[in-house]
Structure 1
Amino acid sequence: MYKGKTFLGVIPARGGSKGIPRKNIINVCGKPLIQYTIEEALKSNFLDKVIVSTEDEEIAKISRECGAEVPFLRPKELAEDTTKTIEVLIHAVNEMKKQGYTYDYVVLLQPTQPLRRYWHIDEAIAMIVDRNEESLVSVSEVREHPLLMRKIDENGKVINLFGDNSDLRRQEFPKIYKVNGAIYINKINENFNAKVSPNDNKLAYIMDRKYDIDIDEPIDVEIFKLMLERIIN
């Protein structure tokens, strides 16, 4: 709870994944991947409850062993490649309501962003409440600036992606940020519905890009291993 507002932390973890089979529970330096997110969520001073939303019995078991609650199993039709994140969040909120728990905000914490720390979560929660906003998304400054990106036409010629002159020195490039997938917060009210896209949340919580790694391919796991000691410890 923060300033009288309550927060439900939801960690979505379906069993199916293409790039890395069973990605959410692969062993990384002695822990299942999802445990890194669960541990930080449980350290939060402001999250009132931390649950894992999964359709998978093994993920549910491991999540409970790591300290998270799994108060329901998600229907398999909400664990497909085509399932939208907002559908998972709405289902979680509604299931908790059936069990007698209601919250002011839902906080989405994806296990594929394991470098996010508990104080990132708390800072983001404080920000959205203090600014009286309905939605927040974490962002990081981009490594590859879009001013240097190009399309290639049918004749093999490069086309400036934004139509801007890019002869600036790199130090003069305007700062550009990307949604990094670490933290999403939405107020649970009449505007929280199936039309919401968390990637389009409005208030920006800026994270240092050293905490930004998205586990999607095997190489990402190796990079994560290299970063763990420097970032976490």
Structure 2
Amino acid sequence: MYRDKSFIGIVPARAGSKGIPNKNIININGKPLIQYTIEEAKTSMYLDEILVSTDSHKIAEISKKCGANVPFLRPVELADDTAKTIDVIIHALEELNCLGKSYDYIVLLQPTQPLRKGWHIDDAIKKIIDDKHDDLVSVSEVSEHPILFRTIDQTGRLHNLLNVESTVRRQEFTKYYKVNGAIYINNIRKLSSNTSLNDNTLAYIMDKEYDLDIDEPNDIELLKINTK
């Protein structure tokens, strides 16, 4: 808890993955990917519970060994490529309610962001409460500035992504940030099936060194280097 508010950390980890088979439990430097997130979540001073939402008995067993709770399995219809994360969260909250558990805030921790630390989680929790906000999302400054991004039309002509003059010194570039997927926090009372987590409005800025999204095989090699 933090300032009398309770927090449930939910780690979504379905079995299916097209890019990297069994991605959430692939062994990296001696431990499954999901363990990186669970271990850091366990160091949080403010998370009241860490729950893994999965459709897989194998992921459930691994998660329990790592110290997370898995009191139920996710239904099949919430475990395919079309399932929305918000629906997974709502399902988990409904199941918890049936078990007599309720919380004030949901903290979503995707296992594909393994470099996020426990103190990041706590800093984000303090920020959303101290700023008296209902939703927060972690962001990182982008390395490649969108002022140099272009689209190409059917004739091969370039068009600026931003409607600004791009002949600007790099030192004068406006800072831009991307949603990095590491931390989402939402007031549970304000959640609905229409909630778009990526559109959470309060920013929690993380250094770029902690931003690594495991999406393709090369990302696994980067994680191996960063966790030796």
Shorter chain as denominator, the TM-score bin is: over 0.9
Cα deviation digits, residues 70-108 of structure 1 (max 9, x gap): 011010111110000100111111111110110000000
- SS of the residue corresponding to residue 24 of structure 1 reads helix
Instruction: Note the C-alpha offset of 1:193.
Output: 0.5
Q: Gaps spanning 5+ residues in structure 1: where? A: none
Instruction: Note the C-alpha offset of 1:180.
Output: 0.2
**Distance (Å, rounded) in 2 between the aligned partners of 1:129 and 1:88:** 24
Q: Gaps spanning 5+ residues in structure 2: where? A: none
Counterpart residue type for residue 132 of structure 1: K
- SS of the residue corresponding to residue 139 of structure 1 reads strand
Partner of 2:37: 37
- SS of the residue corresponding to residue 14 of structure 1 reads coil
Counterpart residue type for residue 109 of structure 2: L
Equivalent residue runs for 1:176-195 within 5 Å: 176-189=176-189, 191-195=190-194
Instruction: Note the C-alpha offset of 1:216.
Output: 0.4
- SS of the residue corresponding to residue 227 of structure 2 reads helix
Instruction: Note the C-alpha offset of 1:225.
Output: 1.1
**Distance (Å, rounded) in 1 between the aligned partners of 2:90 and 2:215:** 25
Larger deviation, residues 110-119 vs 166-175: 166-175
**Distance (Å, rounded) in 2 between the aligned partners of 1:178 and 1:161:** 15
Larger deviation, residues 127-136 vs 148-157: 148-157
**Distance (Å, rounded) in 1 between the aligned partners of 2:122 and 2:177:** 21
Cα deviation digits, residues 6-45 of structure 1 (max 9, x gap): 0000000000001000000000000000000000001100
Partner of 2:206: 207
Instruction: Note the C-alpha offset of 1:163.
Output: 2.3
Counterpart residue type for residue 106 of structure 2: V
Q: Does 1:24 align with 2:29?
A: no
**Distance (Å, rounded) in 1 between the aligned partners of 2:54 and 2:121:** 21
- SS of the residue corresponding to residue 35 of structure 2 reads helix
Cα deviation digits, residues 183-219 of structure 1 (max 9, x gap): 0000011x21000011001110000011000000000
Partner of 1:2: 2
Equivalent residue runs for 1:148-227 within 5 Å: 148-189=148-189, 191-227=190-226
Counterpart residue type for residue 9 of structure 1: G
Instruction: Note the C-alpha offset of 1:132.
Output: 1.0
**Distance (Å, rounded) in 2 between the aligned partners of 1:200 and 1:217:** 25
Counterpart residue type for residue 191 of structure 2: F
**Distance (Å, rounded) in 1 between the aligned partners of 2:13 and 2:38:** 11
Equivalent residue runs for 1:39-54 within 5 Å: 39-54=39-54
**Distance (Å, rounded) in 2 between the aligned partners of 1:171 and 1:29:** 39
- SS of the residue corresponding to residue 45 of structure 2 reads coil
**Distance (Å, rounded) in 2 between the aligned partners of 1:170 and 1:213:** 25
Counterpart residue type for residue 12 of structure 1: P
- SS of the residue corresponding to residue 225 of structure 1 reads helix
Segments of 4+ in structure 1 off by > 6 A? none
- TM-score, normalised on structure 2? 0.99
Partner of 1:137: 137
**Distance (Å, rounded) in 2 between the aligned partners of 1:16 and 1:116:** 23
**How well do the aligned residues superpose, as a CA RMSD in angstroms?**
0.7
Partner of 2:146: 146
Equivalent residue runs for 1:26-105 within 5 Å: 26-105=26-105
**Distance (Å, rounded) in 1 between the aligned partners of 2:30 and 2:67:** 16
